[in-house]
Structure formats: C-alpha cells, structure tokens
Amino acid sequence: MTEGDDILARRKAMVAEIEAEVAGTRRWLGKRKLDPRVIAAITRVPRHLFVPVANRGHAYENRPQPIGHGQTISQPYMVAIMTDLAEIQPGERVLEIGTGCGYQTAVLAELGAQVYSIEVVGELAGPAAVRLRDLGYANAEVKCGDGARGWAEHAPFDAIIVTAAAWQRVPPALIAQLAPGGRLVIPVDRSVKAARYPFFDQDQELMVISKDEEGRIAERDVLPVAFVPLVEGGPETAA
C-alpha cells in the first residue's frame, strides 16, 4: 500500500466514525445522515496537512487536536455537523469565524462556497492563508481580526459559522450581516461566568439562528458542545 492509499484509507475510516456518531446523536440532530455533499467534502480535504507535523499520525482520529497558541483543530464530527447545519449551496457567500489552521475553511471551500474567514491570532491566520492558497483553495480568503464584528465589506452572508463560543449572547453584528434566508451556526456559552483556561465545565450549546426572507429571526438549540472562547473586543487588524 502506498502512503497515499494509506492516508485515504484513514480518511475514509474517519468519515465512517463521523457517520456512526451522527447516527448516535440523531435525536439532537433531527436526522440520521448528513448531506452527502458534506461527507464528500470531508473525504477530499487532506486533514493531515492542517495539523502540526508532530501530530500527523493522529490527524484522522475523530477528536480535536492542539495546533499551538493554546488553540485546537476542531473534532471532525463537529466540523461535519456544523457544515451540514449551515446548508451551504455552491456559490454562496460564507463567513467563518475562528480560522485556526483553516480545516473548516477548506471543507466550506470544497462545497463551492466563497469563503471569508477571520482569525484573531495573527500567528495562526498567516499560515492558514498560505496553507489554503498552496492547496489551491482560491475561493477562500483569510484575514486577522475580531470576527465578532463580522466582515462588513463582504456582507451579507448566506451562512456564518462560528467555531469559538460566544459568551451569553450571539454577537449582534453577525445577525445583522446575515442575508435573508441565511443560517448562522454558533456555540453559545450560557455559563454565569465567562470561560477561563482550561475552559472546563462551561455550559455551551450549539445554536442555529436563521433569518427568513422578511428578516424575521428564528433560533434553535442543537446539542451541548465544548469550544474555546470567542475573544471579543480586540483590536481590528489588517489582513
């Protein structure tokens, strides 16, 4: 077996684990299977190229991994369900908040969306932008800044995915920048106290907020989750 075959086999095994976990959490998700386009996108993205070289052997395990700077690459199951909940169609404009290593960004780009992604840690945003460019994702743009403010220049967005937990409320700028018919997928931390490292025991819920054609907002809770906190109120920096 060549290394390429081995990597593809591991990726397919990871996808099978995601599918099993989706079936096991069907009561929360309201479905037994994800959109086949989401599964196909995850089967294409070379996740091993998004983790630090020392962790590559673990890249296809269905769990989050450290990527440095106190941050993580999200669990594959979580990337899969958040992408599914966002109901991305080809050609849609999508805002992602919390680029990290750029893995979720790549999955969104594989779905044919035009992706705008914001990362607050400059040491992660720069390498993620280079990685996505080198892998040929011309439809993904990354900038460094506070994503809680959205990205007004490219708004409105058909979908917004936030991969860090907002404390107590959904940032108002994100609801404002959602297009009519748009979906916002975001973990919200309802704990009385804001998260402090190492972020255990927070009461976080993954939410989907949708805006109808008349601009009315509907929201629903999906399932309990554990994300790093969304850092709000930092300086706005250039790309």
Q: Where are any strands of DSSP class E within the chain?
A: 65-68, 71-73, 93-97, 114-119, 140-144, 157-162, 166-167, 178-189, 204-211, 217-225
Give min distance, CB of 149 to ligand SAH, in A.
8
Residues in contact with ligand SAH by the rule CB under 6 A: 71-74, 79, 97-101, 103-104, 118-121, 124, 146-148, 163-164, 228, 230-232
Which CB atom, from 32 or from 69, has the smaller least distance to ligand SAH? Answer: 69
Which CB atom, from 150 or from 182, has the smaller least distance to ligand SAH? Answer: 150
Amino acid at 53: V
Give min distance, CB of 62 to ligand SAH, in A.
13
**Cα 202 to Cα 191: distance, rounded to the nearest angstrom:** 6
Which of 5-22 are b and which e, b meaning 16 or more Cβ less than 10 Å from the residue's Cβ?
eebbebbeebbebbbebb
Which CB atom, from 77 or from 103, has the smaller least distance to ligand SAH? Answer: 103
Give min distance, CB of 131 to ligand SAH, in A.
11
Q: Any alpha helices (H) in 58-203, and if so which ranges?
A: 76-86, 103-110, 122-134, 172-176
Catalytic pick among 74, 117, 191, 210: 74
Contacts for 170 with CB less than 8 Å, ≥ 6 apart? 184, 186, 188, 207, 209
- 164, 137, 173, 193: CA torsion to nearest 10: 10
Which CB atom, from 72 or from 210, has the smaller least distance to ligand SAH? Answer: 72
Which CB atom, from 120 or from 188, has the smaller least distance to ligand SAH? Answer: 120
- The helix (run of H) or strand (run of E) holding residue 16 is helix 3-24
**Is 74 a known active-site residue?**
yes
Give min distance, CB of 24 to ligand SAH, in A.
22
Environment class of 197 (CB within 10 Å of its CB; exposed 0-12, middle 13-18, buried 19+): exposed
**Cα 105 to Cα 7: distance, rounded to the nearest angstrom:** 20
Give min distance, CB of 68 to ligand SAH, in A.
10
Q: Which residues are catalytic?
A: 74
